Amino acid sequence: MSEAFHIGLGNDDPQIRQRSKSDSVSFWDDQAKRLSWFEPWTKTLDWNPPFAKWFEGGLINASYNALDVHQNNRKEKPAIIWEAESGESKILTYHDLWVEVQKFSNVLKSLGVVKGDRVTIYLPMVPELPISMLACSRIGATHTVVFSGFSASSLRERIDDSKSKIVITSDGGYRRGKIVKLKPIVDEAIENFDFVKNVIVLERTKQEIDLNPKDKLWNELMQNASDQCDAEKLDSTHPLFILYTSGTTGKPKGVLHGTGGYLTHIHSTFGWAFDIKDSDVFFCTADIGWVTGHSYVVYGPLLHGATEIIYEGAPDYPNPSRMWDLIQKYKATIFYTTPTALRMFMKFGDELPNSFDLSTIRLLGTVGEPINPEVWRWYFKTIGKEKCPIIDTWWQTETGGMMISALPGIETIPLKPGSGTRPIPGVKLSVVDEQGNDVPANTKGYLIIQNPWPGMLQTLWRDDEKYKTAYWSKFESTYYSGDFAKIDEDGYFWLLGRADDVLKVAGHRIGTAELESCIVSHEDIAESAVCGIPDEVKGEVIIAFAVLNENCKKDSSTLEKELLEKIRNDIGPIATPQQIYFVSKLPKTRSGKIMRRLLKAIANNETIGDVSTLEDGAAVTEVQTAFQEIQKSIKGNNS
């Protein structure tokens, strides 16, 4: 049995697991009753594979469940504690948020927005972003949030596909002490789009902007808006939002989520995973432009009446202790972040976090990618002081909410560093081979979902056929996640990276996540990224990039030898990189994900493409230089 940490919050409700296994549909029926409905549903699930309609006939509203239901007992409770990297801050109570959302709902109505219209939101991490989302959901408009780091062409593509009537933006936002201008990007993105009727502009940075006939200023619109707007009674299947996710090829896919099923899934998983209490202060570092921000920054916490921290800016600016300072300042009790961010924090050593009072934290979580066991242990010992459970969550934009996670809110189980533990109640997940057969324990295979679940996407926006092909064609009537995983002898799931993020060396398939995890497990390595370059004999050879911990004293040749030996021992000789190159930084998006696509493009002398979400352009230059040196070295060795 693998190393396990027996730690939990002491909540055990075995009946939840039992009920979910005996009849998952009636189980989700019970969970949905925890929300406030205007009218009950007549049918819990209409399943016509691969299309699901959850809680058919029921009438509900997301904004009502996030705000109105709290006006009696949580009216003066802080809903959002917002802070920017400049130190600027604001606290919005549940009553404040309720009033602002109603006013902005009336603003949208005054501009002709009606139920079923689409609204694109292109804002930095400011309170007006969740206000915009909740106002859309209040009147039945479908919001499509676009991450504020995307370029004009990326934004244009999304606005065009959704045919949004309104675009909500800002003059700009702050990132690493600089103003990122957003309004000029929107102007370029909507050029000649007659279907965009208005652009609402928030004056965030107070810089001069050019106003066009379509432009309206947020503050001017809000001044005379009524603060009373009843929530629309919407069908459970009414489209709540479209969120675009990039595929390996082609244009982004518009993942469409409904209302009743999605809210049921998010409400349930947020409570189970975070064991949320009324006294908690929840801090998720995700940008709202991604699905984690939708589900566990906006909807999940507000459905539960939680207090949460929202931060605008880079997680290590103006210094690497920024997150620990926020946790200490606002006495955060739950911290939910990415393994990439944790690896960055680890690089600066234990002294920084140990110099802050993190004693209020009682639960830690990770999201976005598999977590390396070494990173898990650092998180557990240095940040959690060996007292806090860590929930390592797996899910996707398409699943809506968590699908694999430890659930301290309902059960205490041993935690294994690097494993997401078990599926949530009410879903059946398996790991299978190419033929769809279950693989033996500890064998890599494809992760699939075998039954419908409430948070699942309804379809791809305006493309039912692509929805069927992308997710339901590989295995019959089964959702294909596109991820590799394995299940150990205890039934714990281990995520092994994207099935399409695979290197093929001499006919052997090697997952990038597996190899990167091996490299990062070395005590002197903070981060790693691997990719393949073409080779006439082997098909591909592996190139690895590694970022050193700050306290590393070894020379690069010694370290490279140690790493190569470790890879041969831990994975096998076939996974040995042709060369390891040490860099000071890796190209990452502003949300903290390593841009492996960019590494592949550089390696194969292809066009780099859109790098509008890139955090630091200097990383690209360093990687390009590294590749040039590698190729010279390879040519020299071959001559």
Cα separation, 602 vs 529, in Å, equals 13
**Is 505 within a domain?**
no
Same domain, yes or no, for 349 and 410? yes
Token output for 13: 């409700």
Confidence at residue 79, expressed as pLDDT on a 0 to 100 scale: 98
**What average pLDDT does this structure show over 84-88?**
92
Confidence at residue 4, expressed as pLDDT on a 0 to 100 scale: 56
Same domain, yes or no, for 31 and 148? yes
**Is 536 within a domain?**
yes
Confidence at residue 624, expressed as pLDDT on a 0 to 100 scale: 76
Phi first, then psi: give them for residue 451, nearest 5 degrees. Answer: -135, 155
- Summarised one tens digit per residue, pLDDT across range 473-490 is 999 889 999 999 999 999
Is the model's pLDDT at 634 over the cut of 70? no
- Summarised one tens digit per residue, pLDDT across range 218-238 is 999 999 999 999 999 999 999
Confidence at residue 207, expressed as pLDDT on a 0 to 100 scale: 87
Same domain, yes or no, for 52 and 198? yes
What letter represents residue 477's amino acid? S
Confidence at residue 5, expressed as pLDDT on a 0 to 100 scale: 60
pLDDT band per the 50, 70, 90 thresholds, residue 537: low
62 or 634, which is more confident:
62
DSSP state of 423: B
Closest C-alpha to 397, from 282, 295, 478, 258:
295
**What average pLDDT does this structure show over 199-207?**
94
For helices 596-603 and 617-638, angle between their N-to-C axes, nearest 10 degrees: 40
Confidence at residue 636, expressed as pLDDT on a 0 to 100 scale: 59
pLDDT band per the 50, 70, 90 thresholds, residue 246: low
Residues 6+ apart with CB under 8 A from 543: 530, 531, 532, 533, 577, 578, 579, 581, 603, 627, 630
Highest mean pLDDT among 39-53, 235-249, 586-600: 39-53
Helices (H) and strands (E) in the chain, counts: 20, 30
**What average pLDDT does this structure show over 412-431?**
95
Contact 290, 338 (CB under 8 A): no
Closest C-alpha to 265, from 391, 399, 138, 367:
399
Q: Degrees (nearest 5) of the Cα angle 174, 227, 204?
A: 10
Cα separation, 553 vs 559, in Å, equals 10
Is the model's pLDDT at 466 over the cut of 50? yes
Is the model's pLDDT at 382 over the cut of 70? yes
What mean pLDDT, rounded, does the chain reach?
90
Confidence at residue 437, expressed as pLDDT on a 0 to 100 scale: 96
> H helices within 288-420, ranges in order?
291-293, 300-303, 322-330, 339-347, 351-354, 373-378
Residues 6+ apart with CB under 8 A from 462: 161, 254
Same domain, yes or no, for 453 and 538? no
Confidence at residue 637, expressed as pLDDT on a 0 to 100 scale: 56
Is the model's pLDDT at 573 over the cut of 60? yes
Residue 568 CB: number of other CB atoms within 10 A? Answer: 13
Same domain, yes or no, for 480 and 575? no
Quick check: bond before 50 cis, omega within 30?
Answer: yes
**Is 497 within a domain?**
no
Query: How many Cα atoms occupy the beta-carbon half-sphere of 548 within 13 Å?
Result: 14
- The residue range of the domain holding 580 is 510-638
Lowest mean pLDDT among 178-192, 271-285, 611-625: 611-625
Q: Degrees (nearest 5) of the Cα angle 603, 604, 609?
A: 90
- Phi-psi category of residue 420: left, alpha or beta, with phi > 0 → left and psi -120 to 50 → alpha: alpha
- Summarised one tens digit per residue, pLDDT across range 31-56 is 999 999 999 999 999 999 999 999 99
Residue 70 CB: number of other CB atoms within 10 A? Answer: 21
Contact 104, 224 (CB under 8 A): no
CATH assignment of the domain containing 530: 3.30.300.30
Q: What is the largest CA-CA distance in the chain?
A: 78
Cα separation, 187 vs 199, in Å, equals 9
For helices 556-570 and 512-520, angle between their N-to-C axes, nearest 10 degrees: 130
Which secondary structure element, helix H or strand E, spans residue 299, and what is its range? none
Is the model's pLDDT at 12 over the cut of 60? no
pLDDT band per the 50, 70, 90 thresholds, residue 507: low
Residue holding tokens 């049995």? Answer: 1
Same domain, yes or no, for 476 and 523? no
Q: Which residues of 600-621 are buried (b: 16+ CB within 10 A; e: fewer)?
A: ebbbeeeeeeebbbbbeeebbe
Phi first, then psi: give them for residue 27, nearest 5 degrees. Answer: -60, -50
Cα separation, 624 vs 219, in Å, equals 45
Same domain, yes or no, for 480 and 528? no
Cα separation, 167 vs 612, in Å, equals 19
**What average pLDDT does this structure show over 201-223?**
94
**Is 134 within a domain?**
yes
Cα separation, 421 vs 417, in Å, equals 9
What is the side-by-side order of every strand in the sheet holding 445-449? 429-432, 445-449, 479-487, 493-498
Residue holding tokens 């993105």? Answer: 189
Q: Would you call 592 exposed, middle or buried from its count of C-beta atoms within 10 A (0-12, 13-18, 19+)? A: buried
Contact 393, 402 (CB under 8 A): yes
Confidence at residue 18, expressed as pLDDT on a 0 to 100 scale: 86
Same domain, yes or no, for 396 and 543? no
Residues 6+ apart with CB under 8 A from 144: 118, 119, 120, 121, 158, 162, 164, 241, 242, 243, 244, 254
**What average pLDDT does this structure show over 501-506?**
72
Lowest mean pLDDT among 328-337, 378-387, 580-589, 591-600: 591-600
**Is 5 within a domain?**
no
**Is 633 within a domain?**
yes
**Is 175 within a domain?**
yes
Same domain, yes or no, for 477 and 560? no
Confidence at residue 248, expressed as pLDDT on a 0 to 100 scale: 43
Token output for 300: 């999940």
Confidence at residue 249, expressed as pLDDT on a 0 to 100 scale: 44
Where a domain ends, among 453, 486, 519?
Answer: 486
Same domain, yes or no, for 467 and 533? no
- In sign, the C-alpha dihedral spanning 438, 444, 445, 448 is positive
**Is 325 within a domain?**
yes
Which secondary structure element, helix H or strand E, spans residue 308, and what is its range? strand 307-312
CATH assignment of the domain containing 460: 3.40.50.12780
Same domain, yes or no, for 63 and 198? yes
Same domain, yes or no, for 107 and 214? yes
Number of domains in the chain: 2
Token output for 622: 């360093």
Q: Degrees (nearest 5) of the Cα angle 57, 63, 68?
A: 105
Residues 6+ apart with CB under 8 A from 159: 120, 146, 167, 189, 190, 193, 196
pLDDT band per the 50, 70, 90 thresholds, residue 498: confident
Closest C-alpha to 498, from 583, 407, 594, 415:
594
Q: Degrees (nearest 5) of the Cα angle 382, 386, 391?
A: 90
Is the model's pLDDT at 8 over the cut of 60? no
Residue 178 CB: number of other CB atoms within 10 A? Answer: 10
Cα separation, 565 vs 586, in Å, equals 23
Closest C-alpha to 292, from 320, 312, 269:
269
- Summarised one tens digit per residue, pLDDT across range 107-133 is 999 999 999 999 999 999 999 999 999
Is the model's pLDDT at 380 over the cut of 90? yes
Q: Would you call 364 exposed, middle or buried from its count of C-beta atoms within 10 A (0-12, 13-18, 19+)? A: buried
**What average pLDDT does this structure show over 539-551?**
87
**What average pLDDT does this structure show over 254-277?**
97
Is the model's pLDDT at 7 over the cut of 70? no
